[in-house]
Structure 1
Amino acid sequence: MQALKKAPRNFLVIFFSLITSSYLYFQLNRLGYIPALFQLLDIVCLHNCIAQSNLHKPLAGKQLLNYNQKITEIIGLSTIEKTQISILIEKSKYRLTVYHAQEPIKSYPVVFGKNPVNDKVKEGDLSTPEGIFKIRDLYPHSAWSKFLWIDYPTPDSWRKHFQAKREGKIGKLDRIGSEIGIHGVPTGADALVDQRSNWTWGCISLKNQDIDELYQIVQQGTQVEIIP
Structure 2
Amino acid sequence: MKPLVYAPCLLAILIGSTSFRSTHYLNTEHATKNTYYLLVIKTKYEMKVFDSTGECLATYPVVFGNKDMGDKMMQGDRRTPEGTFKICFKRKHEKWSRFLLIDYPNAESVAKFNQRKAAGLIPSDAQIGGSIGIHGTWPNEDYAIDGLQNWTEGCISTKNRYVEEIFDALPVGTRITIRK
TM-score (norm 1): 0.68
Match of 2:20 in 1: 67
Q: Tell me by how many angstroms 1:63 deviates.
A: 4.4
Q: Report the CA distance shift for 1:145/1:77 in structure 2 as closer, same or farther (over 3 A).
A: closer
Number of matched residues? 164
Given candidates 23, 27, 36, the residue that maps to 1:85 is 36
SS at 1:108's partner residue? Answer: strand
SS at 1:92's partner residue? Answer: helix
Following the alignment from structure 1 to structure 2, what is the Cα–Cα distance between the partners of residues 129 and 76? 27
Q: Tell me by how many angstroms 1:164 deviates.
A: 1.1
Following the alignment from structure 1 to structure 2, what is the Cα–Cα distance between the partners of residues 156 and 67? 35
Match of 1:123 in 2: 75
The answer to which structure has the higher helix fraction is 1
SS at 2:43's partner residue? Answer: coil
Residue-by-residue CA offset, 1:177-201 (whole Å, 9 max, x unaligned): 0000000000000110000000000
Match of 1:133 in 2: 85
Residue-by-residue CA offset, 1:100-156 (whole Å, 9 max, x unaligned): 112111100000012541100210011000000000000100000000000000111
Following the alignment from structure 1 to structure 2, what is the Cα–Cα distance between the partners of residues 96 and 202? 15
Larger gyration radius, structure 1 or structure 2:
1
Given that 1:85 and 1:99 are in contact with CA atoms closer than 8 Å, whether structure 2 keeps it comes out as yes
SS at 1:106's partner residue? Answer: strand
Given that 1:97 and 1:105 are in contact with CA atoms closer than 8 Å, whether structure 2 keeps it comes out as yes
Identity rate, percent? 37
One-letter amino acid of the counterpart of residue 31, structure 2: E
Given that 1:121 and 1:157 are in contact with CA atoms closer than 8 Å, whether structure 2 keeps it comes out as no
Q: Report the CA distance shift for 1:84/1:78 in structure 2 as closer, same or farther (over 3 A).
A: closer
One-letter amino acid of the counterpart of residue 55, structure 2: E
Given candidates 189, 193, 211, the residue that maps to 2:145 is 193
Match of 2:95 in 1: 143
Q: Report the CA distance shift for 1:117/1:179 in structure 2 as closer, same or farther (over 3 A).
A: same
TM alignment of 1:143-162, pairs within 5 A: 143-162=95-114
Given that 2:65 and 2:154 are in contact with CA atoms closer than 8 Å, whether structure 1 keeps it comes out as yes
Would you identify which runs of 4 or more consecutive aligned residues in structure 1 move more than 6 Å? Answer: none
Following the alignment from structure 2 to structure 1, what is the Cα–Cα distance between the partners of residues 89 and 152? 19
Q: Report the CA distance shift for 1:64/1:202 in structure 2 as closer, same or farther (over 3 A).
A: same
Following the alignment from structure 1 to structure 2, what is the Cα–Cα distance between the partners of residues 76 and 149? 21
One-letter amino acid of the counterpart of residue 74, structure 1: H
Q: Runs of 5+ in structure 2 lacking a partner? A: 1-8, 13-18
The answer to which structure has the higher strand fraction is 2
One-letter amino acid of the counterpart of residue 11, structure 2: L
Two-structure CA RMSD over aligned residues (Å)? 1.9
Moved more, 199-208 or 161-170: 161-170
Following the alignment from structure 2 to structure 1, what is the Cα–Cα distance between the partners of residues 28 and 167? 15
